[in-house]
Amino acid sequence: MYQIDNDIYFYGLLVIPAVVLLFLIYQFWKRRRQKQFASAELLNKLSPERSLFKPVLKLLIVCLALASLVVGLANPKVGTKMETVKREGVDVVFAIDVSKSMLAEDIAPNRLEKAKRIVSEIINSLASDRVGIIAYAGQAYPQLPITTDYSAAKMFLQGMNTDMMSSQGTAIDQAIELAQTFYDDQDQTNRVLFLISDGEDHSQRAVEAVEAAVEDGIKIFTIGVGTGKGGRIPLRRNGVIESYKKDNKGDVVITRLDEETLKAIAANGNGVYIDGDNTETVKETVTEILAGLDKKEFESKQFADFKDQFQWFIALALLLLIIDIFLLERRTAWLKKLNLFNEKEES
């Protein structure tokens, strides 16, 4: 396991393309000036030991030295020891609707991106709770099992899109049934499920699934994403809107937030419905909900005792710069005999 102390220093790598560009400009200017001064044959006679490869090699060494220096400044660290940490928290599963209706742009930039932003902000506010993620449309699919790795959770979250599922619909019942398999402790009482959806085109089996989940001690909260006014579902190609989804009659489909369904699911699931219009308000509401629940103690293993590794990269950078200083641009005698770079001999 490794971590980076100051990743902002990686912007320093942008210096390398600038150095290469300056080198090419200098070589172009140098060739032009040399042609103005003398012909190629005369230049070869005046400087017969001139190497065409050495300047490129020196550039490569300088670029590697700069890259090593940047990595050294970022200070990578390597974990050398594992330790078991005891925490108290709640197991939270997020089930996110990825059906095509979530592409509607009645909430900017669209419902799905809004849902992902809400979940990301909630994860940022967590301290020691464990999280899991489910994606669902016409069927449900596990994205991330229960974990304390918040960075992994946000990575999987950002990768979610409406193309993940081949079958369309809003199979809330399957999402709830799948969530029941995420909680690994039979005696656990603090099981929480957040359904983030527009509630439209839901399965009629959702009520039965909610009742079964409640029997397992799961509290179900719903977060509605969308507006009552609704919006069209754009069909894009290469990021450009080509048309909008139409029904069998050829009319443009208008998808609307079904708050009543989501409120009913939350009420039957011993939870509450949360309006997803304001991300900050949703985050504060969820934080209050989780703070009021009983905490469970659990153990997790994580790396500890990270050791700095910057010194190796700084030393490599210095070594490369020293090599660059002593590396002359004329031909090396033994390389000249081998002629590895196909440099022509002049009589």
pLDDT tens digits, one per residue of 265-303: 999 999 999 999 999 999 999 999 998 887 776 665 555
Of 82-91, 104-113, 170-179, 334-343, the one with minimum mean pLDDT is 334-343
> Do 172 and 189 fall into the same domain?
yes
Ordered strands of the 76-89 beta sheet: 2-4, 76-89, 296-308
Q: How far apart are CA 218 and CA 60, in angstroms?
A: 60
> Do 53 and 10 fall into the same domain?
yes
Residue 29 lies in a domain: yes
Mean local confidence (pLDDT), 45-72 = 82
β-strands 273-275, 254-255 pairing: unpaired
Instruction: Domain count for the chain, please give it.
Output: 2
Helix, strand, coil fractions of the chain, as percent rounded to 5: 45, 25, 30
Residue 90 lies in a domain: yes
The structure tokens listed for 171 are 């199979």
> Do 67 and 98 fall into the same domain?
no
Residue 99 lies in a domain: yes
> Do 24 and 158 fall into the same domain?
no
75: left (phi over 0), alpha (psi -120 to 50) or beta: left
**Distance linking the first and last C-alpha atoms of the chain:** 59
Instruction: Identify the DSSP state of 110.
Output: -
> Do 63 and 139 fall into the same domain?
no
Residue 13 lies in a domain: yes
Name the nearest CA neighbour of 120 among 283, 278, 275: 283
Domain that holds residue 8: 2-75+309-338
> Do 107 and 228 fall into the same domain?
yes
> Do 131 and 37 fall into the same domain?
no
**Percentage of the chain modeled with pLDDT above 70:** 81
Residue 8, pLDDT score: 86
Q: pLDDT tens for residues 114-157?
A: 999 999 999 999 887 889 999 998 889 999 998 888 988 999 99
Residue 317 lies in a domain: yes
Residue 254 lies in a domain: yes
> Do 41 and 156 fall into the same domain?
no
Residue 334, pLDDT score: 47
Q: Report residue 110's pLDDT band, with 50, 70 and 90 as the boundaries.
A: very high
177 touches 147 (CB < 8 A)? no
pLDDT at 321 exceeding the cut of 60: yes
pLDDT at 82 exceeding the cut of 80: no
Residue 199 lies in a domain: yes
> Do 196 and 274 fall into the same domain?
yes
> Do 133 and 270 fall into the same domain?
yes
pLDDT at 50 exceeding the cut of 70: no
Residue 225, pLDDT score: 95
60: number of Cβ within 10 Å: 13
> Do 96 and 11 fall into the same domain?
no
329 burial type by CB count under 10 A (0-12 exposed, 13-18 middle, 19+ buried): middle
The structure tokens listed for 173 are 């019942």
**Which CATH number do you get for residue 94?**
3.40.50.410
Of 88-97, 238-247, 336-345, the one with minimum mean pLDDT is 336-345
* Stretch (H or E) spanning 85: strand 76-89
Residue 347 lies in a domain: no
> Do 173 and 315 fall into the same domain?
no
